[in-house]
């Protein structure tokens, strides 16, 4: 079974631009969560989607948004990029039966650099 796939793996943007990151969960998983990882703040929860509905949301500004499609694939978007948005963005999926309580399966992440 294929794992969680995130694209692109690496990208470089400039301040003010916007970026869209994509995540394909493990087949059969309907829950997708997004995390931002930086050396200073560690892993911070962005949002979680289940069956196309945002179920939980972290404490990030409105520039950060996401969505989930009917095939459970998810995208997150960051608009008006700031230098501080440089980070590793991690997507994780979980099996329906373990949503909110069980194991998360992570992708390799998308490393965003903002210049």
Which tokens is 67 given?
Answer: 């969505």
Reference 93, options 110, 80, 108, 105; nearest CA is 105
Rounded least distance, CB 104 to another protein, Å: 6
Select 17 or 87, whichever has its Cβ closest to another protein.
87
User: Which of 18/100 has CB closer to another protein?
Assistant: 100
Nearer to another protein, 15 or 57 (CB): 57
Nearer to another protein, 30 or 111 (CB): 111
Are the C-beta atoms of 47 and 54 separated by less than 8 Å?
yes
Q: Phi/psi of residue 33, each to 5°?
A: -120, 150
Closest distance of CB 108 from another protein, Å: 5
* Shortest distance (Å) from residue 29 CB to another protein: 13
User: Using CB under 8 A as the criterion, which residues of the chain lie in contact with another protein when the complex forms?
Assistant: 4, 33, 35, 42-43, 45, 48, 56, 58, 88, 90, 92, 100-109, 111
Rounded to whole angstroms, the Cα distance separating 71 from 104 reads: 18
Cα radius of gyration (the chain):
13
Q: Shortest Cβ distance from residue 106 to another protein (Å)?
A: 4
Torsion, Cα 55 59 61 64, to 10 degrees, reads: -50
């Amino acid at each position: 079974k294929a794992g969680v796939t995130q694209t692109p793996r690496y990208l470089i943007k400039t301040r003010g631009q916007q970026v869209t990151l994509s995540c394909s969960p493990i087949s059969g998983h309907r829950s997708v969560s997004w995390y931002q990882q930086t050396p200073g703040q560690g892993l911070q929860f962005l949002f979680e989607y289940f069956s196309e509905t945002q179920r939980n949301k972290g404490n990030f500004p409105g520039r950060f948004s996401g969505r989930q499609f009917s095939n459970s694939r998810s995208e997150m978007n960051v608009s008006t990029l700031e230098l501080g948005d440089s980070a590793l963005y991690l997507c994780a999926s979980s099996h329906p039966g373990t949503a909110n309580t069980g194991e998360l399966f992570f992708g390799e992440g998308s490393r965003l650099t903002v210049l």
